[in-house]
Structure 1
Amino acid sequence: MADQAAGKSVEQLKGVRATAKRSFSRLVNSITRTHEDMTEEELKDSFNRLTMEAEKVMEANDDLEAGFITELEAKPDTSEAAVLTEQQRADLAKTASECELKLKEIKTLVREALWANFGSAELSTALQAAEAECEHVAAITPDGNYEVYDFVLGHLKELVGVAKERYSKWKHWIPSGIRRDLQSNIQKLELCVPRLVSRKADFLEMRIKEDADHLSSLPVTSSCPMPIIKLKPTALPKFLGNKRDFHRWKKEWEVLQGQAEPSGSKEIKKFQLLDSVDEKITRELRLTTYNTADDIFRVLENRFGNQTSIAIEIVEELQRMPAVKSHQPRKIVELIQAVEKALQDLVDLGDTGAIKNPLVTKSIESKLPETLKKEWLIYVADSRNTVTPEKRFDSLLEFLKEQETIYEQLDHLREEEPSKRERVELKHSRTKFTKSGSDEGCVVCGDGKHKKKLYFCRQFKTLKLAEKKAAIKKLGACWSCLDVHDKGSYCKPTYLCKNPGCKEAHAPLLPMP
């Protein structure tokens, strides 16, 4: 600022200071009016901007003082050191004092708003959860159940870590009157954990004692070896975040948990539920902060259990399936099984009407191959089958189940009859297209329009990487451009990846190896 002030007149420096004061005053007024409605990020940003604007005012004030002195020294009749007038000193002091007071006042206002609206609840919740868990762990009486104590102790460590993290985040915004008390609470939690960890020895000692008592109470048996049957323990089902599986998972979990823990302990049920939910979901929804399994189920239900959205998702996924051809028995079986699974999922939701909608039934019919579609229409026309509009979906599903076994057998026959022509192709088609492939059409969808050009096949784009590689190998296409050409020929640049970051030529539909 001193360099910027050089060469400016006093009047210009006064103008710079007036501009800085106006900008500072506008920001002060804006914060004063809207601080109660600001978000956490907006309040912190306003705090930083306030400091910057105040610094500009103070620097402009210092530059003006330097300008006054320079102007006095420039007068030819001045032999003594330049001294500011009383009015000039008062003006400079007033500006500095008002700026500092207003800065301190608004900073305090922003701190109080941040703490009252955001920090207090967040830190208090974390501290209360950690303190309550600390009391709970301390109240557990040492017994032989060492694993349960170790589990709840690990959960306590997680909650204490969360509380310390929240304290570090809000440390600079905590009012000075309660900062010492909160710091003391954090220190108590840190001291509590090592003391509770040392109690593990008591649990291990009780375990050893119980095992010894149990062995001494057993009757003396024959030394003849007895056959031992080892049963694998049944684990509770784990929820990974798929909405379609939520209600079925919840029902199975509650049944198995009730059988495994007949005592009905709320604490054990809560910890078993947390262990049965994916860690990513637990962190995202902060499930460890809830007190009971019922509260955790309520949060999970709100996120994953909306039956209407699940039903829509099931139907839309079914409608997105592509139509299948007559020469693809495996695809036909997969379509039938997808319809059966969608119906079963909707039965679990209690909303079968979503899939029995005439539009959905028509969409399923349109995906059938021509031969199967013809047989279905003949089935509908037969009066003995009594296919009515209201029961059209049920009749279609019954018809498809009968066809499923037939197409399963057709698929097995195709696998059990290796073609000599295919063996020749797999052996010699590394970079050259064979005549048999040309006659049959596309190796993926059977379409003759793009039989030698996999990059035009829509169905090829939806295949998994392993299936894509198998199709390329069967066709004998080039691994770089997916076209069929001689080994010595160059790849057409039109069908190569145009990403400048790729160091080697490859097709856009295949990732870099």
Structure 2
Amino acid sequence: MAELNLRASAIKAIKRIHDRVSGFQQGAFDEFHLEQELKSLSAHYARFVTNHDLLVGNAANAELEAHEKLWEGFKGIYNNACTHLNRAIMGAKPSQSAVMPVRECEVKLEPLAIPTFDGTMQNWLAFKDVFELLVHNTDYPEAYKLGKLRQAVSASAVPLVGSVYSGGYADLWKALKERFDNRRQLAETHVSRLLNIKPTTEDTPTALLFIVDTVHESLRALHVMGLPVAEWDAVVVPIIVSKLPITTQREWNMSCSPTEIPSLDELLTFLGQRAHSLSTTVVTWGNGVEFTSKSHQRAGGPSRAVRSHVVSAEEGKCTYCQGAHRIMKCARFLVMKYEDRITAAKTARLCFNCLKQGHSARQCPSGNCRHCGRKHNSLLCRESLSQNPSESVSTCPEGAVTAIASGNSNL
């Protein structure tokens, strides 16, 4: 085959130049002689690349690995020859030697890994962006790009890549873009992924963050396609809220304005903060499991016991009377007057903001009172519980909840 002989001839010529320039002594040749050697080296390399591309374009799958190994081995020889010649040319120029010695500093960076593409439509955009940056938009030879493309795309998932393809790199990349760069299918895929998020009943950091990540990935892909995702809050927010656990839905609704349309950024921020609060262990001083930490003992003195407890409210169990209902529907609690509810919440060690155990109002991630906007539960709001309907009470007592939480009973 003519291409095979021409490529072999170019390899031999480049190796001869490499062996010759490797033994150059500083100052043995002038700048013009060295530049002529560099031109000859570039001409032989261009001849090698042309015939190598033709051989790879017509090669079967079984032959591609051999061509790739030849390319990798030959590339080092050519680069070394170029380095020797360029270094000798710099040393032969009077302007360089008269100024100051050149300080050489070679930094070898690890090559960036090219991601693989599994043939699924939802992963195409991420793969295409990275592959175009690292391979497609570079000055690498076409044969090298073709080899990298076949390494990155799974032949079992995309038979187009694994078949005996008659075209070169440009034809194969064009065929892949025609198949997967379909705006309609891409949009439908990511919208469907957003709509089909599986509703969860688990109020855990893992479940909440999975929803957050899925929303971010889907909308980011749609934004890259140029779709106005920033204007979809009124549609997307109710869809995402419907996928959340009942407890998280209730907390979200309590934190929202009753009249304004919430934004998607506000919802995702709320879910991130709630996931963080659910994964944080609450440590308090009080009645709980006692353990002694040696790191807190002073030398020669008595040990200091650290008491830690985390109390989690069971779903459907009243934190006041321990009945089979939530405190929001507790008949005994709801018939109480304002002062009695405050006393009952204090006795049961409830958070004055969400009426759950295990943390204080300052640590509570839930929203504020729906009636006055202060940091307490709506069931503990004096304004909503005024016993005399004709009496106008415009505000809740300043600092009432704080006083109770700190142990002050003078309400």
TM surpasses 0.5: no
TM bin, normalised by shorter chain, reads 0.3 to 0.5
Larger Rg: 1
TM-score using structure 2 length: 0.44
Between Structure 1 and Structure 2, the one with more helix by share is: 1
TM-score using structure 1 length: 0.37
